[in-house]
Amino acid sequence: MAPNSRLFPAIFVTFFLFISPTFCAHDYANALKKSIIFFEGQRSGKLPPDQRLRWRRDSALHDGSTAGVDLTGGYYDAGDNIKFGFPMAFTTTMLAWSVIDMRRNMGAELGNAIKAVKWGTDYLLKATAKPNTVYVQVGDAFSDHNCWERPEDMDTLRSVYKIDKDHPGSDVAGETAAALAAASIVFRARDPAYSQLLLDRAVKVFEFADNHRGAYSSSLHAAVCPFYCDNNGYQDELLWGAAWLHKASRRREYREYIIRNEVVLRAGDTINEFGWDNKHAGINVLISKEVLMGKSNQLKSFQINADSFICSILPGISHPQVQYSPGGLIFKAGGSNMQHVTSLSFLLLVYSNYLSHANHAVPCGQKSASPALLKRLAKHQVDYILGDNPMRMSYMVGYGARYPQRIHHRGSSLPSVRAHPARIGCKAGSRYFLSPNPNPNLLVGAVVGGPNSSDAFPDSRPFFQESEPTTYINAPLVGLLAYFSAHPN
């Protein structure tokens, strides 16, 4: 179907009318650089010499020792000091996808983006070193959340949690396999030996996920719920893992697995969701690339699902679960809304690129949506994050003239080790949490949970759903910013 020039005119004229002509053009390259620096602020373990956020120091250097394994490294997922494997694996997958699809647009930041991927995969390799076992969490969330302390000072429980044959977790194992497979593509030309290691491990972890099925939140409910409890089931992660393994290995067995399990693993379910817990829209967009390139008509149903996903989030005709704020921001019920904004916008952008190559538009009832329209919608979400919004506030720390000052983040809100060498105890940090003062340490590039459905933002640490940054907000944003830094108009 050729792109249609008459696309949702009333909807989109209305939708974009609120944008003021006084907004300045954004420096997407600068925002891209900052969005990657953020991951350095989330590092756990021994920090490298080229660490750019200098207020951070080494932390959690004995992780895994209670279980006789080395689990140092990796990322703290948000503003606390726990290492949750499920969102960390999804973060790594999305960073890898950003590099795979947007590496030509990253310029000088490509090396830093790849370092961000490797910090994740180095840890995931440690977490999967034992056959039929994945270490999925380090730290007791209840103990951690009872304190407000720097990661460098942690004295809370560093309990180690794993899944194995007797305690399955196909969701987190499937996502881990996806992350390792996707990253193997990133390193294929740059470091072939490391790439092969990642792919071989992805194959083994996926076999474990598929052969020993179950949800990790059933096996580890007391540890992972309500924080990263899998509410969506493990079926989508099995398809997601298979899709990335097929993309990375080109082995027919994974294509056949996808075709054979499409219905059983419910590929078409909840198509307007995408995030650490629900991979359905991502699966359909990722697989549809082959169909649009004319390589696999057997997978046509995934492209039909991807088209339906696009229609479900377009303003004016979107699904009841997807709303838009008065300022035009995608809004979904639940906490940390920006995770939906960046993940869904990333899919809009990459699918737009796939459609452009195939000269295809998305049919939505009696109308059709062009690739250009999808790009405009994705760009509008990015611009909103960077300051084109009713609050005239950038939701990325350190970008623009006005941005959140009191983010819900322990390391950022407490004095740095350089400024305050003495230890700050568990409860001694509470006064910093409750202080009305701005955070003393700038977590450059952090994108917070964002405003509510009315575009209002409290900029207050206790309002964690609005003020807490996460790695899985930033990971898809890296790809978006890379693209728009090369294609600003």
Which residues belong to the active site? 408, 459, 468
Residue 190, beta-bridge partner list = none
Question: Alpha-carbon distance 446 to 384, whole Å?
Answer: 15
Residues in CB range of 181: below 8 A, 6 or more apart? 198, 199, 202, 206, 241, 244, 245, 247, 248, 249
- The residue count of the chain comes to 489
Helix (H) or strand (E) holding 482, with range, is: helix 471-486
148 token code pair: 């407000």
153: which DSSP letter?
G
Burial tier of 333 (Cβ tally within 10 Å: 0-12, 13-18, 19+): exposed
Question: Alpha-carbon distance 145 to 464, whole Å?
Answer: 12
With H, G, I as helix, E, B as strand and everything else as coil, classify residue 362.
strand
Burial tier of 232 (Cβ tally within 10 Å: 0-12, 13-18, 19+): buried
* Residue 194 CA: distances (Å) to CA of 65, 180, 184, 191, 376: 25, 11, 8, 5, 37
235 token code pair: 């079926």
64 token code pair: 């895994």
Residues in CB range of 428: below 8 A, 6 or more apart? 149
| Helices (H) then strands (E): counts for the chain | 19, 7
* Residue 272 CA: distances (Å) to CA of 279, 318, 364: 10, 9, 14
Tell whether omega for the bond before 371 is within 30 degrees of 0, i.e. cis.
Answer: no
Helix (H) or strand (E) holding 30, with range, is: helix 28-41
Judge contact between 277 and 232, C-beta under 8 A: yes
Judge contact between 391 and 457, C-beta under 8 A: yes
What helix, strand, coil percent values describe the chain, rounded to 5?
50, 5, 45
Give the ranges where 250-370 is alpha helix by DSSP (H). Answer: 252-261, 280-292, 300-313, 338-358
Judge contact between 344 and 314, C-beta under 8 A: no
